[in-house]
């Protein structure tokens, strides 16, 4: 019988908890062992789980394994996506790339750098907005620091338009659509970048989960 509490990586079997035949009772300490091993496979032997990040990881893991009790405790809405914020180099992108592998049976999301979305708009125009306003699941990486969009002399806040499209689709699919993002900006900076209307929609699209303001730059 297929056991969803086990994942095999590099020929090694990792247990994430106990499977009772109906559901997995996850064990966070076992999840951390798996994430550390998978992180080393994805990003190299220097990858590690930092002790000071464990509280944040607990929230994120609770969301991805759909632990309703833990999510309620941390005021996380399972119908929304994740907006992971924190200073440059704290590991936001790596963590979102890594957590896709924790629940292989769930529908995966694509990691898309926001600058690539803008470059696509500059080349293809409004087709880009349509392309990302579809039913696929995305994590838009580095939201808020992408360049301005321009197509045939018309300037556009491209990611703002994409988020508005995603929000409309989120409503149309009765909150089944998932949009995630990472950002270095705080709430005030995001509002300055995208305006109050987009910021309001972002509150409805995302659970905000944030690294500590003074998290170390792990790339140094």
Whether the CB-CB separation of 205 and 81 falls below 8 Å is answered with yes
119: number of Cβ within 10 Å: 16
Conformational region of residue 21, where left means phi above 0, alpha means psi within -120 to 50, and beta covers everything else: left
Question: What pLDDT, in 10s, does the model give residues 43-98?
Answer: 999 999 999 999 999 999 999 999 999 999 999 999 999 999 999 989 999 999 99
- Please report the pLDDT score of residue 10 as a whole number: 86
- pLDDT higher than threshold 60 for residue 1: no
Q: Percentage of the chain with pLDDT > 70?
A: 96
Give buried/exposed letters for 136-164 (b at 16+ CB in 10 A, else e). Answer: ebbbbbbbbebeebebeeeebbbbbbbbb
Q: What is the pLDDT of residues 192-215, one digit of tens each?
A: 999 999 999 999 999 999 998 766
- pTM as predicted: 0.93
Question: pLDDT category, 217, cuts 50, 70, 90?
Answer: low
Least confident of 169-173, 182-186, 196-200, 215-219: 215-219
Give pLDDT, residue 191.
Answer: 94
Banded model confidence at residue 105, pLDDT cuts 50, 70, 90: confident
CATH of domain 79-210: 3.40.50.300
Instruction: Tell whether the model's pLDDT for residue 218 goes beyond 70.
Output: no
pLDDT digits (tens, 9 = 90+) for 13-54: 999 999 998 889 999 999 999 999 999 999 999 999 999 999
Environment class of 177 (CB within 10 Å of its CB; exposed 0-12, middle 13-18, buried 19+): buried
What are residue 111's DSSP bridge partners?
A: 139
Residue ranges of domains in the chain: 79-210
């Amino acid at each position: 019988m297929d056991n969803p509490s086990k994942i095999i990586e590099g020929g090694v079997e990792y247990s994430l908890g106990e499977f009772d035949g109906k559901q997995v009772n996850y064990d966070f300490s076992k999840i951390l062992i798996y994430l550390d091993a998978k992180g080393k496979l994805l990003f190299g032997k220097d990858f590690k789980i930092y002790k000071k990040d464990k509280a944040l990881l607990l929230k994120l893991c609770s969301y991805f394994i759909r632990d309703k009790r833990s999510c309620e405790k941390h005021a996380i809405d399972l119908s929304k996506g994740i907006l992971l914020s924190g200073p440059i180099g704290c590991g936001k992108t790596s963590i979102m790339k890594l957590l896709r592998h924790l629940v292989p049976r769930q529908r995966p999301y694509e990691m898309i750098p926001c600058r690539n979305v803008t470059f696509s708009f500059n080349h293809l125009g409004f087709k880009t907005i349509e392309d990302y306003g579809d039913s696929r699941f995305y994590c838009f990486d580095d939201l808020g620091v992408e360049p301005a969009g321009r197509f045939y002399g018309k300037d556009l806040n491209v990611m703002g338009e994409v988020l508005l499209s995603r929000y409309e689709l989120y409503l149309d699919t009765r909150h089944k659509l998932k949009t995630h993002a990472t950002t270095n900006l705080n709430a005030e900076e995001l509002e300055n970048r995208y305006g109050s209307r987009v910021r309001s929609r972002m509150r409805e699209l995302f659970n905000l989960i944030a690294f500590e303001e003074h998290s170390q730059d792990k790339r140094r």
